[in-house]
């Protein structure tokens, strides 16, 4: 198995090492397969380090061509303070809490310093639009689709996870923006499938508790920036109508009966286990449907529709974002108030044009269930309305950051429902320290 030179290959997204020295311990995760060692593409970096440390020659056939001088992105001046820390950590690691402008500066500076072709992985097409617009403003254009080697390609996490088998050898700098808002299996597929030597993770402050999940693929936590001040937040507690209350209580009772029985039988199992089990069990599936029904009633109802109408009129002329709980409520609000909708089912060009129109001031209001979370630049709106109260802390924090610190965020919460507890849990987090509660009669 010993040869003079070790060859590093990437075949169908899998790392393969030929001629590995028998007296050098291979990185953990590589397994012998005949005359080769095989493993996930992310182990390329560790394999190179092991060979360099043992002074063994190797041929790395994966290495993309470095950026030519005219391809390098402009480097921000002065360079971001976190750049030196990242470079000193062998260009690998996670940075938490950076505001949007500093994130962009750090990515450009990292690409400039490493001269590496960059793959930027973001959550969805809305986030892609924001990044492309911000990079164009800095005089650096990106490729819309990765048809060949390019200086910086941007793609969504879902697309990257499915296409990394052919993307892996085209980029030597992998940047993952906000992994805490991506499905965990998708993030791990991206990290394991990339062969990039340089890796940078950009995490929000709410993602700090999960940095250990990404350390194998992105490195350790290097810096935590102070959280910016937040806009004023008001919780509006709204009553359900008699019919809605009866519908909610019936659905919630059906769910609780099944869940209580589940919890008694499996006291150490969590809610996620109940969901997985109920999907497969005919006797528990009605309880799962009832849970979804209760959440739908709480997330959008007559009182919330009326509150939206009142708030839209009150803030007419200001830059307004309505974060709807689903597509149905999005289109209802769009028709009722002549507000442009942004949903995943719209053609990509239409979504991009709509988000650009808001960024340039041609549109003053947008409504959408998810793509607005990252599809609008931070601090670009005056008013935010969180219509559903069932979002996670990381998602709520992302939505609040779309609103300027001088603005206001309304969170509409259905009284005496599961939304109340969720809203209060979010209110106790540092990023939501100044929260008022205003019940409506």
pLDDT digits (tens, 9 = 90+) for 130-161: 999 888 888 887 654 444 568 899 999 999 99
* CATH no. of 232-238+301-439: 3.40.50.300
Q: Which residues of 195-232 are buried (b: 16+ CB within 10 A; e: fewer)?
A: bbbbbbbbbbbbbeeebebbebbbbebbbbeebeebbe
Count CA within 13 A, CB hemisphere, residue 151.
20
DSSP string of 98-152?
--HHHHHHHHHHHHHHHT--EEEEESSHHHHHHHHHHHHHTT---BSS-SS--SE
Confidence of residue 338 (pLDDT cuts 50, 70, 90): very high
pLDDT digits (tens, 9 = 90+) for 14-73: 999 999 998 899 999 999 988 899 999 999 999 999 999 999 999 999 988 888 888 888
* CATH no. of 81-224: 3.40.50.300
Q: Which residues pair with 411 in a beta bridge?
A: 235, 386
Range 6-60 has CATH code 3.40.1170 = yes
Q: Where in the chain is the domain with CATH 3.40.50.300?
A: 81-224, 232-238+301-439
- Which pTM was predicted? 0.77
| Tokens at 368, concatenated | 């959408």
What confidence score (pLDDT) does residue 39 get? 94
pLDDT beyond 70 at 227: no
What confidence score (pLDDT) does residue 434 get? 35
């Amino acid at each position: 198995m010993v040869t003079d030179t070790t060859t590093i290959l990437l075949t169908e997204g899998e790392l393969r090492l030929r001629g590995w020295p028998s007296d050098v311990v291979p990185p953990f995760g590589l397994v012998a397969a005949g005359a080769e060692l095989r493993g996930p593409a992310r182990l390329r970096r560790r394999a190179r380090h092991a060979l360099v440390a043992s002074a063994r020659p190797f041929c790395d056939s994966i290495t993309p061509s470095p950026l030519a001088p005219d391809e390098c992105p402009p480097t921000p001046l002065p360079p971001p303070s976190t750049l030196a820390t990242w470079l000193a950590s062998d260009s690998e690691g996670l940075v938490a809490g950076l505001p949007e402008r500093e994130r962009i500066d750090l990515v450009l500076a990292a690409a400039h310093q490493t001269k590496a072709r960059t793959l930027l992985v973001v959550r969805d097409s809305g986030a892609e639009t924001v990044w492309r617009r911000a990079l164009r403003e800095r005089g650096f254009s990106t490729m819309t689709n990765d048809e060949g080697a390019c200086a910086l390609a941007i793609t969504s996490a879902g697309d990257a996870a499915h296409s990394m088998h052919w993307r892996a050898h085209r980029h030597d700098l992998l940047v993952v923006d906000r992994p805490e808002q991506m499905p965990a299996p998708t993030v791990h597929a991206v990290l394991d499938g990339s062969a990039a030597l340089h890796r940078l993770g950009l995490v929000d402050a709410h993602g700090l508790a999960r940095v250990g999940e990404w350390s194998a693929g992105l490195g350790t936590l290097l810096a935590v920036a102070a959280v910016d001040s937040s806009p004023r937040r008001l919780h509006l507690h709204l009553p359900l109508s008699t019919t809605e209350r009866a519908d909610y209580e019936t659905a919630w009772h059906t769910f609780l009966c099944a869940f209580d029985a589940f919890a008694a039988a499996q006291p150490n199992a969590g809610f996620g286990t109940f969901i997985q089990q109920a999907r497969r069990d005919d006797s528990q599936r009605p309880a799962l449907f009832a849970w979804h029904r209760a959440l739908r009633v709480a997330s959008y109802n007559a009182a919330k529709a009326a509150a939206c109408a009142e708030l839209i009129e009150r803030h007419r002329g200001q830059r307004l974002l309505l974060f709807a709980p689903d597509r149905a409520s999005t289109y209802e609000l769009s028709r009722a108030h002549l507000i442009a909708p942004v949903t995943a089912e719209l053609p990509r060009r239409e979504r991009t044009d709509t988000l650009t129109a808001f960024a340039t001031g041609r549109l003053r209001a947008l409504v959408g269930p998810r793509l607005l979370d990252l599809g609008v630049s931070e601090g670009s709106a005056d008013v935010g309305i969180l219509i559903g109260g069932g979002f996670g802390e990381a998602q709520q924090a992302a939505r609040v950051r779309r609103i300027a610190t001088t603005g206001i965020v309304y969170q509409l919460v259905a009284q005496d429902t599961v939304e109340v507890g969720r809203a209060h849990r979010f209110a106790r987090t540092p990023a939501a320290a100044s929260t008022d509660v205003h019940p409506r009669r």
